[in-house]
Amino acid sequence: MSATFGVTGEPSWKQNPVPTIQNTPQPPTHPSQATTRQFSRNDPVTNDGEPSAPPRHTEAGNTRPLGAVENQAAHTGLPVGVDPEPNLESALEGIPAEHVHSFTTVEQVLGIIAETQSSQNDVFCPYLAFLNTPVDGLHSFDSVQSAGIRKQYFESTHVLIIKLPSGPHETVTAGVRNCINRNAVLMGGVDRELSDIGSKTYKPTRTIYSDSCKEGDEGILPHQRRGGQGSWPTLIFETGVSEALGRLQQDARWWFEQSNHSVHAVIVSHVLCDERIIDLEIWRMQPIQHPRPATRSNTFLEPRCDHRLRIDCSTTPATTTGAVPFFIISFEALVLRPRAENETDFLLTQQDIEYIATVFRASL
């Protein structure tokens, strides 16, 4: 069966929009310049592990140079380095109307979460949204948030997004992560340079809203080259089931834009339990061309899906659509140092794919 993407019908929140929020703070006058940190094995690397030359994206059989990020103020009306948060419609992308509620109290949020978890099976969208969530409501929720629940908060629109992972959701995330960790171990101890960040909360760097935040499903941080409390991972995992693809893609864009491109790749895993299918997407910053005179450089970067792999777990062994080995991320982009002779890019082999399919079937 083919995957079903998106949600049909006119959502109720469109019929009753949230009132416009007044007194929006003004952007800072001296934001930092936007930078891009993707690079390949051919790029010079400075002592702190960051690239010292224009970035290049390299994957098996394909090398494409990336251009520099231009002044975004000409297109957004904001100073360079400051991005607006998504509007209400974009913030709720991929979430069905019946999963959208209006915040009243933290007890009400916890009650809806408990009710959803008790009735939810692995087919339904795992997201809940709460409109009109004040900042103090977010802080109150933080103090009682249960393990395993992921959240995202847009301060500009006061929208709280909750993700409720299921068994297959967690199993697929762990399966892909384990394969990457195994790759690192087989390189002779590269795993000791990497840390799993779990569902750590991150604050965006490219917005004026200090209480906005997001948690991923998993992430990998090269802790020897990025230390400190707010260090961003180089690889993020985002997983969802059934109707969640649009939401997952929105999540992938957030990591690139709001980490100021410190995140180098996002693995999006879209799980279709009834069909026993896993769709993997790798998101990276990719070049786009804006219609401007050819007399000046006008190459921008945008988050975009780089390539896909479909794993059909209804067969044994699993069948795939897409190139295998499946390229995840270059060694340099993940570990933030040049690779040695015994070190390679991070790929999913056919053996890795069969392992992921096996543990996924066992979770159903």
CATH number for 31-364 (one of 3.30.310.50, 3.40.30.10, 3.30.70.2500, 3.90.1570.10): it is 3.90.1570.10
Is residue 335 packed enough to be buried (19+ CB in 10 Å), middle (13-18) or exposed (0-12)? buried
pTM value is: 0.76
CB contact set of 78 (below 8 Å; sequence gap of 6+): 27, 72, 84
Q: Where are the domains of the chain?
A: 31-364
The SS3 of residue 13 is helix
CB contact set of 44 (below 8 Å; sequence gap of 6+): 51, 52, 53
The pLDDT score that the predictor gives to residue 199 is: 87
pLDDT tens, residue by residue, 7-30: 333 444 444 444 343 333 444 333
Residue among 151, 276, 262, 265 at smallest CA distance from 217? 151
Per-residue pLDDT of the chain (364 residues; tens, 9 = 90+): 434 333 333 444 444 444 343 333 444 333 333 333 333 333 333 333 443 333 333 333 333 333 233 233 333 334 445 667 889 998 998 888 999 999 999 999 999 999 988 876 655 778 999 999 999 999 999 999 988 899 999 999 999 999 998 889 999 999 999 999 999 999 999 999 999 998 899 999 888 899 999 999 999 999 999 977 779 999 999 999 876 788 899 999 999 989 988 999 999 999 999 999 999 999 999 888 665 554 445 558 889 999 999 999 999 999 999 999 999 999 999 999 999 999 999 999 999 999 999 999 999 9
- Answer whether 163's CB lies under 8 Å from 240's CB: yes
Q: Tokens at residue 257, please?
A: 């834009």
- Answer whether 318's CB lies under 8 Å from 312's CB: yes
Alpha helices in 120-223 (DSSP H): 135-144, 167-186
